[in-house]
Amino acid sequence: MERIIVENVSYSYQNKYQTIEAVKQVSCTFESGKLYAVTGESGSGKSTFLSLLAGLDSPKEGRIIVDGEDIAQIDRDAYRRKQVSVVYQAFHLFPLLTAWENVMYPLELKGIPRKEAKKKAAECLEEVGLSEKILNQYPKMMSGGEQQRVAIARAMAAGGRILLADEPTGNLDTENEENIVGLLLKLAHEKDYVVIVVTHNPLIAEMADVRMTMKDGKMTAAEEQ
Ligand SMILES: Nc1ncnc2c1ncn2[C@@H]1O[C@H](COP(=O)(O)OP(=O)(O)O)[C@@H](O)[C@H]1O
Ligand SMILES: [Mg+2]
């Protein structure tokens, strides 16, 4: 099912001296049940494109339609809380919260009672393959791979089944990298997520259902593989 339609979207950054056109008239669609890899040179606009999809920035031109609604027309915070979750290279976990509390956080933000949030968080942590002994650990006690799994569990707990990831394996060794790629594929293929991964990692690009390339702000190709 088509969940995201990007129509002629452009975005530019403006400073005192110049305008940088980071995303130029990009049109594409994303379906649930698929993993998309977006590759391209540094500075080609990948992260900017992802932040537009995440609703962190608004297109200067064009529209992004998610589940039939132009995201510029709906409440931004609700969109970000409900629909999409973003996972970053640097994990971005809350350092003073345990694994469990990190995953409970978006649930409590939504007003879900603590007991229920705790149960749901535990399920998500189990789903990403973390053992029970991790639940009460703080991020600094975990390996990079474990931290990234917690970040993915937190994204799952948020519930929108649109997962955006910007270089999610950039800080990981090969073994953890493979685990995370496997997990992202499982979310797409078994849980019907739309997973969009910005990556330099050839393994992800190879395993993806669709490989997309950005160059100078343009989406130059989308190959189904
Ligand atoms: N906050 C910003 N202010 C000004 N220019 C930016 C900002 N973020 C990114 N850019 C510029 O926009 C272009 C695209 O950047 P980015 O989306 O980060 O590319 P990528 O993720 O592919 O490396 C680059 O020229 C970059 O320098
Ligand atoms: Mg980037």
Domains of the chain by residue range: 33-42+75-224
> Could you identify the atom of ligand 1 that is nearest to the CA of residue 198?
21
The percentage of the chain sitting over the pLDDT mark of 90, rounded to a whole number, equals: 68
Cα 43 to middle of ligand 1, angstroms: 5
Q: Which fold has domain 33-42+75-224?
A: Rossmann fold (3.40.50)
Residue 84 has pLDDT above 90, yes or no: no
Cα separation, 48 vs 11, in Å, equals: 8
Cα separation, 93 vs 148, in Å, equals: 9
160 lines ligand 1 (CB under 6 A): no
> Token digits for 11?
């975005």
Between helix 99-109 and helix 114-127 the angle, nearest 10°, is 130
Residue range 144-190, pLDDT digits in tens: 999 999 999 999 998 789 999 999 988 888 888 888 999 999 999 99
| Neighbouring residues of 66: CB distance < 8 A, sequence distance ≥ 6 | 3, 4, 79, 83, 84, 162
46 lines ligand 1 (CB under 6 A): yes
> Could you identify the atom of ligand 1 that is nearest to the CA of residue 41?
22
Name the phi and psi angles at 201, rounded to 5: -80, 115
Q: Which ligand is nearest to the CA of 14?
A: 1
Across residues 76-91, what is the average pLDDT? 80
Q: Fill in the DSSP letter of residue 133.
A: G
| Neighbouring residues of 98: CB distance < 8 A, sequence distance ≥ 6 | 135, 136, 137, 138
> Could you identify the atom of ligand 1 that is nearest to the CA of residue 47?
21
Nearest residue by C-alpha to atom 17 in ligand 1? 45
Cα separation, 48 vs 29, in Å, equals: 17
First to last CA, the chain: 18
Nearest residue by C-alpha to atom 4 in ligand 1? 13
Name the phi and psi angles at 85, rounded to 5: -130, 145
Confidence of residue 194 (pLDDT cuts 50, 70, 90): very high
